Amino acid sequence: MMKPIMAVRLLLSFALLASASLLNAAEDAKVDFGKDIRPLLSENCFHCHGPDEATREADLRLDTAESTLSVIQPGNSAESELIKRLFAEDPDERMPPEDSEKHLNDEQRQLIKQWVAQGADYQQHWAFVPPVKPKLPVVKNKAWIRNPIDHLVLSQLESKKISPSAAADRTILIRRATFDLTGLPPTTTEIQQFLADDSDNAYEKLIDRLLASNQYGEHQATSWLEVSRYADTDGYQNDRYRYMHVWRDWVIMSLNENKPYDEFLIEQLAGDMLPSASLKQQIATGFCRNHRINSEDGSIAAEWHVENIVDRVDTLGTAILGLTIGCARCHDHKYDPITQKDYYSLYAYFNNVPEWGVGPNNGNSPPFIDVPKSWPNISPEEDKLIEPDPLVLTNARKEAGNGLQRPQAGSKTTLMVMKEMDEPRDTYVLQRGQYNMPDKSEKLSPGVPNSLNSAMAKQPSNRLELGHWLTDPANPLTARVAVNRYWQQFFGVGIVKTSENFGSQGEMPSHPKLLDYLATHFIELNWDVKAIHKEILMSATYRQSSNVSKKMSQLDPENRLLARGPRFRMSAFMLRDQALAVSGTLSDTMYGESAKPYMPPNIWKAISNNKYVQDKGENLYRRSLYTYWRRTIPPPSMMNFNAAAREVCVTRTELTNTPLQALTLMNNKTFVEAARFLAERILNEGGKTETERLTYGFQLVTARQPTAAELKLLISSLDSFSKKYENNDVDAEKLLKTGEKPRNQSINLTQHAAYTMLASLLLNLDETINKN
């Protein structure tokens, strides 16, 4: 496997970049342990000389300063055992050993040697040290600065002698911000109003309007639903139905109400334990029940009970702490200071739910509550915690020799929630992570890893205290992980690219001070999510044009330096919602049971024993976050565009660019029907002349006017489509029958078909499917 530095070199040489590498700072500068050395030690050495005691060789660990100093003489690399071993000629002496499949190249070994020669300054891993608000660096181009974010971005650009890009056009800006905050395109009226507003704070007013819209909460919920592995089915084998949409509604409401992020987390982890808890706070705990539940006949309940809790712990790690805690399930973590005992101490927080390891045949698994019929408009009297019914087990087919017991099932009107048992279950380390191999020599109490608790003396004793511990300002990770995910959403890549892993094997932040500024500022703002979103969107960094020179695109293909604005393909959810919105068919109904829009025929039946029954009418046009999510057969057109599968917590999916995406956008019923209605809109609202109409249609999808060259191409394509459907009513009829919503018969058939193809072309434009 190639190491990152090598790969960068390869990339550069491959791209035949003649100029000296701008990414590599001066060679003789002081080596930065955190940035340069720790990743090398982690990748190549920690496996045998790291946190895991069981596999540690020679009683040496290189993940702590103390032990590392036993093989180093700071300032004297020649006399340092570590350096001798790295450079040893004898294969028996050399580290890493041949059979480890690990390899340090010359450059990397020299770097370590240089670090020792410079005094071997060893620091704790950055992410385990609480963030400190940085001082803003001095920059030259002060005129460019709009807020502290820009200071921290620009100072790095100036150190590399790179200029930021010009501000984006206002049409691009309104489209970008509207998509980023609401997941929808701006309407033509909104564009006109914004362009006509020449006040100094026109852009700020735009942002405030978007933050206050109902669509904000819907869009921001989407990424949290993926993180929370929210779905409408249980996820194994027959993939039984469950009912969790009330929890989804709670997420949307909370985001629209701008519930502070600390409360947002505490309520989801332990809303049921809050003093005089409300029903809404209890509903929030559905977060901890979103994991898959196995209901396959023949299963062993004790085995799958463990998997439920493991999923809660792993989700806590990935979603909130940005740590691969799950690695410590079977053994001590190989790279981060999390022992197997730490893992099961975290497990103990989630092990006291009166649940059963196997689910019922369809329906919610206990504990669940009956949600009042008035939801989501519950009265203050109704907003009180409901005591879930106790678990009842039945053994359906005992006479046939079947030993499986199942719990009672919750109906459509119920929601799975958390509840503490009066007597907590005993928790032990499970050897090798096996449900039937507890190490009964030591009973564990709930607790958080000591390595993350340095600034806080007391161990949280239950789920609620765990929630408070996570959102304590001294927690090194929670705020950083949150703001990083916001950044990732707006810019495509997080400041820490590995948004799921801030540990030793994660990527270093591209802008450590920016990350710490945002994290500390977020806490200062009392975890005000809308405020931190606004701060990011108000920055000059965000407002840059995304156009890129060939040189910069080769030098910085992922825009990690932020010398330009974000440009990347939109999510599956945004693409479908955009098509519905510009065609005027999008429903603005919020909340409720999941909708079942168009799917390929027999989507479920072809490979499973269930049948997808598609909805009719308005439910075909609901926003995509309401689309029914069957875990084992997720909506294929969404999966084509890299939606998360909702099996486990996922904080990022990569953005692919494939032929199957082209097929979806060209031929999928949803998008062809949207093209039909986009065509109707263009013909009804676009004006009298062809030029006016094409301009209008182009503006609906891109927010801007076409250039002369673009208009010429649009006219020429419309001509070719018109020729095709002239005197060909049969084909025109066929095309206009795609989808269930009937067409407006008063429109000329040929014209409608030709404009439908033109509209389809508009929906397939690269600019349409990208946030620019």
Partner 1 sequence: MTPNQEHALNINRRYFFGKSATGLGTLGLASLMNTDLFAEKKQEPERIGGLPGVPHFAAKAKRVIYLFQSGGPAQMDLYDYKPHLKDQFGKEVPKSVYPDDRKTTMSSAQASFPVAPSKFKFSQHGEGGTWFTEIMPHLAKHADDICMINSIYSEAINHDPAITFLQTGAIVPGRPSIGAWLSYGLGSMNEDLPTFVAMSSKGSSKQGQPLYDRLWGSGFLPAKHQGVKFRNQGNPVLDIYDPAGVDRETRRAMLDHLAKLNQLKYEETGDPEIQTRIAQYELAYRMQTSVPELLDFTQETKQSLEMYGPDVNRQGSYAYNCLTARRLAERGVRFIQLFHQGWDHHGNVVNLLPKQCKDTDQPTAALIADLKQRGMLDDTLIIWGGEFGRTIYSQGKLTEKSYGRDHHPSCFSMWMAGGGAQGGMTYGKTDDYSVNVAEDGVHIHDLHATILHLLGINHKRLTYPYQGRSFRLTDVHGKVVKPLLA
Query: Looking only at residues 167 through 206 of this chain, which bind partner 1 when binding is defined by CB under 8 A?
Result: none
Q: What's the min distance (Å) between Cβ of 104 and partner 1?
A: 15
Is 654 a binder of partner 1 (CB under 8 A)?
yes
**Positions in 524-583 near partner 1 (CB under 8 A):** 546-550, 553, 557-558, 567-569
User: How many residues of this chain bind partner 1 (CB under 8 A)?
Assistant: 119
Residue carrying structure tokens 């559905």: 286
Q: What is the largest CA-CA distance in the chain?
A: 90
Q: Which of residues 114-153 bind partner 1 (CB under 8 A)?
A: none
**Min separation Cβ 632 and partner 1, Å:** 4
Among 262, 332, 336, 528, the residue binding partner 1 under the rule CB under 8 A is: 336
Residue 259 CB, nearest approach to partner 1 (Å)? 29
324 contacts partner 1 (rule: CB under 8 A)? yes
With respect to partner 1, which residue has the nearer C-beta, 113 or 406? 406
Nearer to partner 1, 464 or 638 (CB): 638
Which residues, at least 6 apart from 346, have a Cβ–Cβ distance to it below 8 Å? 313, 316, 325, 446, 447, 448, 449
Closest contact distance (angstroms) between CB of 432 and partner 1 is 12
Q: How far is the CB of 498 from partner 1 (least distance, A)?
A: 8
From CA 416, how far away is CA 369, in angstroms rounded?
7
761 binds partner 1 (CB under 8 A): yes
Residues 6+ apart with CB under 8 A from 125: 34, 38, 336, 503, 504
**Residue 597's closest CA among 558, 627, 638?**
627
Helix (H, G, I), strand (E, B) or coil at 704: coil
Nearer to partner 1, 585 or 772 (CB): 772
Structure tokens at 401: 């020799």
Span from 11-19, 214-222, 245-253, 474-482 in contact with partner 1 (CB under 8 A): 11-19
- Closest by CA to 289, choosing from 311, 272, 271, is 311
Contact between residue 207 and residue 538 where contact means Cβ atoms under 8 Å apart: yes
**Can residue 740 be called a binding residue for partner 1 (CB under 8 A)?**
no
Smallest separation, CB 669 to partner 1 (Å): 8
Which phi and psi (to 5°) does residue 84 adopt? -55, -45
From the list 409, 466, 672, 678, which residue makes contact with partner 1 (rule: CB under 8 A)?
Answer: 672
Residues 465-494 that bind partner 1 (CB under 8 A): none
Cβ–Cβ under 8 Å, residues 411 and 243 = yes
Contacts to partner 1 from residues 372-431, by CB under 8 A: 398, 400-404
Minimum CB separation of residue 769 from partner 1 in Å reads: 8
Enter the tokens of residue 266: 């505490």
Q: What distance in Å separates the CA atoms of residue 94 and residue 146, rounded to the nearest whole number?
A: 53
Q: According to CB under 8 A, which one of 252, 265, 309, 757 is a site residue for partner 1?
A: 757
Exactly one of 10, 421, 437, 455 binds partner 1 (CB under 8 A); that residue is 10
How far is the C-alpha of 210 from the C-alpha of 58, rounded, in Å? 59
Q: Which of residues 596-615 bind partner 1 (CB under 8 A)?
A: 600-602, 606-610
Type of residue at 105:
N
Long-range interactions of 424-433: CB distance < 8 A, separation 24+? 424/348, 424/351, 424/352, 425/351, 425/352, 427/344, 427/345, 427/347, 427/348, 427/351, 428/344, 429/340, 429/341, 429/343, 429/344, 430/306, 430/329, 430/344, 432/330, 432/331, 433/310, 433/329, 433/330
Ranges within 694-733 binding partner 1 (CB under 8 A): 707, 709-710, 713-714, 716-717, 720-721, 724, 730-733
The stretch among 85-93, 262-270, 333-341, 452-460 that binds partner 1 (CB under 8 A) is 333-341
Annotate each residue in 612-651 with x if it binds partner 1 (CB under 8 A) or - if it does not, as one string. Answer: --------------------xxx-xx-xx-x--x-xx---
How far apart (Å, rounded) are the C-alpha atoms in residues 350 and 328?
Answer: 16
Interaction between residue 668 and partner 1 (CB under 8 A): yes
Kindly state whether residue 747 participates in binding partner 1, applying the rule CB under 8 A: no
**In sequence order, what are the beta bridge partners of 544?**
167
Q: Which residues pair with 393 in a beta bridge?
A: 407
Q: In the structure encoding, which two tokens stand for residue 368, read together?
A: 């669940």
DSSP secondary structure of 123-145: ---GGGSPP-PPPPPP-S-GGG-
**Residues 271-310, interacting with partner 1 (CB under 8 A):** 294, 296-301, 307
Nearer to partner 1 by Cβ, of 62 and 672: the residue is: 672
Q: Enumerate residues 45-84 that contact partner 1 by CB under 8 A.
A: none
Check residue 3 for interaction with partner 1 (CB under 8 A): yes
Residue 335 engages partner 1 in binding (rule: CB under 8 A): yes
CB closer to partner 1, 41 vs 149: 41
Residue 15 engages partner 1 in binding (rule: CB under 8 A): yes
